[in-house]
Each structure stands twice: as structure tokens, then as C-alpha cells.
Structure 1
Amino acid sequence: MITPNYLKPGDTIAIVSTARKVSKEELKHGLQLLKKWGLKPLFGKTIEAQLHQFAGDDALRTEDFQDMLNNPDVKAIWCARGGYGTVRMVDGLDFSVIKKHPKWIVGYSDITVLHSHIHNLGIETIHAEMPSLTHKRSEETANSIKKVLFGEEYKISFPSKEKELTLIGKASGQLVGGNLSVLYSILGSNSSVRPDGKILFIEDLDEYLYHIDRMMQSLKRSGFLQNLSGLIVGGMNDMNDNTVPFGKTAEEIIFEAVSEYEYPVCFNAPAGHITDNRALIMGRNITLEVTETKTSLVF
């Protein structure tokens, strides 16, 4: 995998939206962080643009992202927010420039489309909080983005969840994944990753429990889960249930789908739609170690 150049003070980082509409007011805290880090923000044309729920129409969102890919002064692109819409514009992008001159793409949730698509081009990306939400997250959330962008030494450790939902072990492999619903939605497309021998990360928000099961069963039946090196599960929060309960938590549903496999599995990772949303370097070869009490990720 190719690692884009790390940033240094004075570099320009573009802010665009590939999905939901966003205002400059919502980006104030994110801009403060960039200035604190010595970086120069550059707003794209999608900021303040609006077409129903989108940050402008598909053509505008495609053009805006393409302009930032092509701009040699832009060293990284920070997606302003998620929602829905990236899948509608990804096929209109020409990635030939980023193949020659890689730059960091940063974001999560709906941005999973870009993480997966760009992974297939052999370039690392950063799964991390968006500038529209940094004010709602932990201090460590912002610090983790800075550490990764500037190439500082980086690792994550956190307590393992209850023993019944843990498969202990140690594994290495390229980190792939992101939002479970998005991974499910792009399965079979040219944006879907080939996960064999890799460590998969998943997270999700505001889904019905039966749909978590549907997605996990679909991934399992397609062979997506069979030959992983490891599985990391982040935030699975604000789940919904039917009047007649499904009978399992999201974590239990996921564990049931993968428990027959022999790779390490951990829950409780500080990443996703949660207060402590640490940056993850997608495509990076990492070491995952899961014990009964602690899980560690070394990038």
C-alpha cells in the first residue's frame, strides 16, 4: 500500500462534502483545529450548497471532490460530514491523479465508500471524525487525527468486552472496513474490498437489530467473513428493535455470525458514531492483539 505524504505546518487541507449538506457555521470547531495545527483550510464549492438533503447535486459533489484531487496545493481532503450520497458520485471520479500523487482522504460513515474504493487502488486513507462533529467528540478524537496526519507514532488500546464476546489471539494484516451498512450496500461492486487475509473493522448507528443480522448473514454467505485475519467491532449504538424483540444485541448478532472462525474478534473499539472516535489508518498493515482483558492495535 502507498502511504500519502504526511502533513506539515503550512499545508492546505480541503474541506468538501460528498454527501449531506453542511454550513460553514457547523464547521467552526473543525476549522479551529486545523488552524491550531498550523494547516490552511480550503472550502470546496459543496460547503453551503444544497439540494434537498445533499450538498448540491451529484455533478457538483463530483466536480468539487475532483477539483481537490487535482489541486497540487491540496495535501489532504477532509470530508465535512457523512449522511448519504457518496455512492452516487464515486463512479464519476477520475482517480488517476491520486495514483500518481497520493493524498490523504479523511472521514468515516458514508465515506466508507471512498475508503473501500481507494483501498482497491492501493492507497491508504484515514477513517476519522469529520470537522462538522469534532466539537461533540473527545479530546483524544482530535488528537488521533493530528497524530496520523502528521505521521506520529500511533497505537490504540482499550478494555476487552465481556469474555463471552471475545475471541482471543494475535493477527496482522491490512486494515479495511468502516460502516457496516455501507459495506453491505457496495458488496459486489468495484468499490467492495477483497477482505481475505485482512483485518476488518465495522461500526454502525441507528439500525434495526434484524437488519444487523441480515447484513451479517449476507456478508457471511458471500464469503466476506470467512478468511479474515481478524475482526474489530467499534460503536454499535442507538440500535432499534421491533415490537416483538429480536432477542439479541448487535454485538451478540455479530459474534454469532463469526464465532465459528478462528481469527481474533474484539468489541468495544473506540471508533464509530461515539464520543471517543479515534482515527484508523485504512490499508495500513496493523497488529491486532486480543486478550481476555485488553485489546491493542499497533499501526
Structure 2
Amino acid sequence: MINPKPLFPGARVALIAPSGPVPPERLEPAVRSVEKLGLVPVVYESCRSAHGYLAGEDQLRADDLNHAFADRSIDGILCIRGGYGAQRILKKLDFSCIRKHPKFFSGYSDVTTLHIALNQLCGFITYHTPMPSTELYDGADEYTMKSLKRVMFGDSAGTLENPGSMEPEVLVPGCACGRLTGGNLSLVASSLGTPFEIDTRGKILFLEDVDEEPYRIDRMLTQLLLAGKLNDCAGLMFGYWTRIEAEQPDRSLTLLQIFRELIVPQGRPALMNLACGHSLPSMSLPMGKKLKMDASAKKISILR
């Protein structure tokens, strides 16, 4: 896997919206938040466009991403927000061109689709991070910003640690080593059966989600299980499960019950309650990077 050059003070970064539209009132503060990082934001058309629940039509969003990678004056690419729509542009992306111009690329949530595609088809590391018009525009906590700057400016070796107030929990003890893949469970599950299907073989699978009922989490994990993805992986990391609430709690399983019934029997080392996903504080993750996870010791190391 290629490790793209890190960003640096004064780096020109493309702001793109490959999925949902940016709320107009958030664009200016999102741009300022990038400037506060010492970067020079270049706002692409998708950040100012809307087509229903999309940030412009598919071709426009795909063109923004293609052009940002092809433009040699652009040092990195920040997805300004998630939403829905990244899957719709996959077949419009010029992966042969993108492969020739690996760059720092970041985002999360719906951007999971692009992390998987860029890691697997273009062979370079990408970064699962908070986004300018989702978290950064309103100011983020010290832990979140320190973790973001760490991956952004090239200091991504060492350990992945929760903030002091949050303790990871052991779901399945043991050790695992492999490249990191995954992201938002809904997007991981919806990749199955497509040319862009996630490959978990020998990898550490990270999962998180937001605004789903427990039975839907069960359904998507079961889909991964039946597709062999949970058996293929070397280990699992679970982040935030934000607003995962049952409409009828007395007729639902809890998340922990679901994990114990679907994940534990697979025998893969697994950690949960990691500070990453649709809540703050949130760590930034190097997707495609090789990790060593000692679930028993609640320790995750990034390998060079």
C-alpha cells in the first residue's frame, strides 16, 4: 500500500462533496475551520450544489473527485460532509488516473464507499476523519483535533488510544494483525455483490453506525456473516453506535446481545467502545494501514 505524502502548512486542499449537499450556512465556517489548520482550501462546485438529497448531479460530483486527484496543484482532498450518494459515482471515477496520483484523502460515514474503493482499486492509504461541515465548522474538542492533525501532518505511527474518560471493552480476547478496512456498517454491507465489494481477508474490520434500530444492525451484521466477511477478517474494532434505539425496547435485542450472538462465535479478536464514528470525541483512522491489535490488553498499534 502506498502511503501518500502528508499535508503541510500552506498545502492546497480540495473541498469536495461526493454525497449529500452542504447546508449553505455551514460552508463559510467549514472553510474557516480548514484555514485554521494552516491549509489553503479550494472549494469545488459540489460544495455549493444541490440536487435533491445529493450535492449536485452524479457527473458533477464524480468530476470534482477526478479533477481533484488529477490536478497537480492540489495536495490533498477533504470530503466536506457525508450523507448519501458516493456509491452512485463509483462507475464514473477514473481509477487509473487516481491510482497515478495518490493524495491525502479524508472523510467518513458515506465516504466509507470511497475508502474501500481507493484502498482496494488504487492501493493507497486513506483517512477516516471528522469532516469540515459536519464537526469542524462548529469547533471540535482537543482530543479530536490532535488525532486529526496526527494523521493529516504525517505522524500516524504509534498507538490508537481512546480519550482518558473512555475505556475500550473486550468482546473477544486475543491478538490480530492486518490492514485496516471498513467504516460505516450500512455502506460496508451495501458493497456486497457489487464490483466494489469489501475484501476483509486477513484484515482488521472497523465498524460503526448511526440512526439505525438494533434489528437493522443485526440484519447487516448477519449479511456480512453469511457473505463470509466476518470469518475472513483477522479481527474487529467497533466504534460508536450513535442513536441506535429500538422503537419497542421490550421487544428488541440489545447491541451487546447482537454482538455476543453474531460476533463472539466467530472467535476473531474484537474490541468495542472505540472513540470513532458519528460522535465526539473521535479518533482519526488510517484506512489500509497495517495494525496490530491486542484485544486482551485493549491496545491497538499502527505499524510502519
TM-score range, shorter chain: over 0.9
User: What is the CA distance between 1:33 and its match in structure 2?
Assistant: 3.7
Alignment of 1:1-299 (within 5 A): 1-23=1-23, 25-121=25-121, 122-132=123-133, 133-134=135-136, 135=138, 137-154=140-157, 155-158=159-162, 159-161=167-169, 166-243=171-248, 245-291=250-296, 294-299=298-303
Does 129-138 or 70-79 show the bigger shift? 129-138
Q: Deviations over 1:164-211 (max 9, x none)?
A: x62122211000000000111111212122111100000000001111
Matched position secondary structure for 1:15: strand
Task: Name the amino acid aligned to 1:211.
Answer: R
Alpha-carbon distance in structure 2 between the residues aligned to 1:211 and 1:60: 32
Q: What is the root-mean-square deviation of aligned Cα atoms in Å?
A: 1.8
User: CA 1:153 to 1:243, structure 2 compared with 1: closer, same or farther past 3 Å?
Assistant: closer
User: Is the Cα contact below 8 Å between 1:236 and 1:251 reproduced in 2?
Assistant: no
TM-score (norm 2): 0.91
User: CA 1:179 to 1:251, structure 2 compared with 1: closer, same or farther past 3 Å?
Assistant: farther
Alpha-carbon distance in structure 1 between the residues aligned to 2:30 and 2:79: 11
User: What is the CA distance between 1:227 and its match in structure 2?
Assistant: 2.3
Matched position secondary structure for 1:212: helix
What percentage of aligned pairs have identical amino acids?
34
User: CA 1:246 to 1:228, structure 2 compared with 1: closer, same or farther past 3 Å?
Assistant: farther
Q: Deviations over 1:79-120 (max 9, x none)?
A: 111110111112101022221120122000000000111111
User: Is the Cα contact below 8 Å between 2:215 and 2:253 reproduced in 1?
Assistant: no
TM-score (norm 1): 0.93
Matched position secondary structure for 1:5: coil
User: What is the CA distance between 1:277 and its match in structure 2?
Assistant: 1.6
Alpha-carbon distance in structure 2 between the residues aligned to 1:254 and 1:77: 35
- What are the ranges of 5 or more consecutive residues in structure 1 without an aligned counterpart? none
Matched position secondary structure for 1:110: helix
User: Is the Cα contact below 8 Å between 1:160 and 1:291 reproduced in 2?
Assistant: no
User: Is the Cα contact below 8 Å between 1:174 and 1:283 reproduced in 2?
Assistant: yes
User: What is the CA distance between 1:34 and its match in structure 2?
Assistant: 2.7
